[in-house]
Amino acid sequence: MRMSYREAMREAMREAMAADPRVFLMGEDVGRYGGTYAVSKGLLEEFGPERVRDTPLSELGFVGAGIGAAMGGMRPIVEVMTINFSLLALDQIVNTAALYRHMSGGQFSVPLVIRMATGAGRQLAAQHSHSLENWFAHVPGIRVLAPATVRDARGMLGPALADPDPVVIMENALLYNLEQEVPDDWACDITSAAVRRAGADVTLVTHGGCLPKVMDAADELEDLGIDAEVIDLRVLRPLDMACVAESVRRTHRVVVVDEGWRTGSLAGEVVAQLAEDSLYDLDAPPVRVCSEEVPMPYARHMEAAALPQAGKVVAAVQELVDA
């Protein structure tokens, strides 16, 4: 079956809501408007206003309401319109949802799923173009997912709702129109990275919206005689570094591509763990390709220049292989 990333997320929510009356969706414009990115279009008509709830413009308030509902036995899906708005709810996510199991000595859990759009490339300028996945991946007590394929968009929500602890799903907004075939067996886990392309010369590690660019780069590198393996992290906390390390043991070179800023990036964490645990498998220093250290520009050509692109990845690999 062929569907878009947007349709896959919608179908995953529809299936979850049909299967379990405890599941409901809440967030800004998720009901009558059908979602800012049309992900929830049609769900209000199907499930009604008790199960698809438009909220006030207060992320701190409605994320807190989602936490309370989860602790009360419900299975809420809370949509935060874009990741920059999640900054208004960091206290609820970091100081409440992530900590309850620990601070209650295991007596309470918060089975909450928070979905949010992330990433740049849509000329929404600095305020709506953040890639802050690593901010959340830094926090113990939450699981952070970054589905980069239609299959993962379809398959990750179910196990996320079954998790007794909070799960944050990062949906890169440039992926919503992506169309791919989804096999009948679309179920997937929320614990492991995935090898998207096998290769022998260099390992390319990425996640989310950068995956299509990295796959394009791998195609270009193949034309240049360089066989690249592509690892999609998929799960940003906890990281499946065993998958990355196994790849590096075979290729002996690694480039990590991350739309976040280089300083304090998830790419930096991947490189640090490789330096700690896989140093002697590397024939050259690890390389990072990240966004430029500037607020995201509005102008299209400047925005493109600030972001990781396939050409930047190809150049980084060529330099690494030639070193």
pTM: 0.96
Considering the four listed CATH numbers 3.40.250.10, 3.40.50.970, 3.40.50.720, 3.40.50.300, the one that applies to the domain covering 2-181 is 3.40.50.970
In terms of phi and psi (left: phi > 0; alpha: psi -120 to 50; beta: otherwise), the region of 227 is: beta
Please determine whether the domains at 2-181 and 194-322 fall in the same fold group of CATH: yes
How many angstroms separate the Cα of 216 from the Cα of each of 4, 220, 221, 276, 309?
A: 19, 6, 9, 30, 9
Per-residue confidence (pLDDT) for residue 184, from 0 to 100: 86
Strand partners, 90: none
Beta strands in 133-238 (DSSP E): 143-145, 167-172, 179-181, 194-197, 202-206, 228-232, 235-237
**195 is written with which tokens?**
């090898």
Locate all alpha helices (DSSP H) within 20-94, ordered by sequence: 43-47, 59-71, 90-92
**118 is written with which tokens?**
């992330």
Buried b (16+ CB within 10 A) or exposed e, 50-70: ebbbbbeeebeebbbbbbebb
Per-residue confidence (pLDDT) for residue 32, from 0 to 100: 95
CB hemisphere CA count around 194 (13 angstroms):
17
d(C-alpha 317, C-alpha 5), whole Å: 29
Residues of the chain with pLDDT under 50: none
The architecture in CATH of the region 194-322 reads 3-Layer(aba) Sandwich (3.40)
* Beta-carbon contacts of residue 223 (< 8 Å; ≥ 6 apart): none
Per-residue confidence (pLDDT) for residue 125, from 0 to 100: 94
- The distance in angstroms from the start CA to the end CA of the chain is 44
Per-residue confidence (pLDDT) for residue 322, from 0 to 100: 85
Per-residue confidence (pLDDT) for residue 185, from 0 to 100: 86
Task: Name the 3-class secondary structure at 294.
Answer: coil
Residues annotated as catalytic (active site), given as ranges: 59, 128
Closest CA to 152 of 210, 214, 235: 235
Per-residue confidence (pLDDT) for residue 15, from 0 to 100: 97
Domains in the chain: boundaries: 2-181, 194-322
Per-residue confidence (pLDDT) for residue 69, from 0 to 100: 98
Contact 37, 173 (CB under 8 A): yes
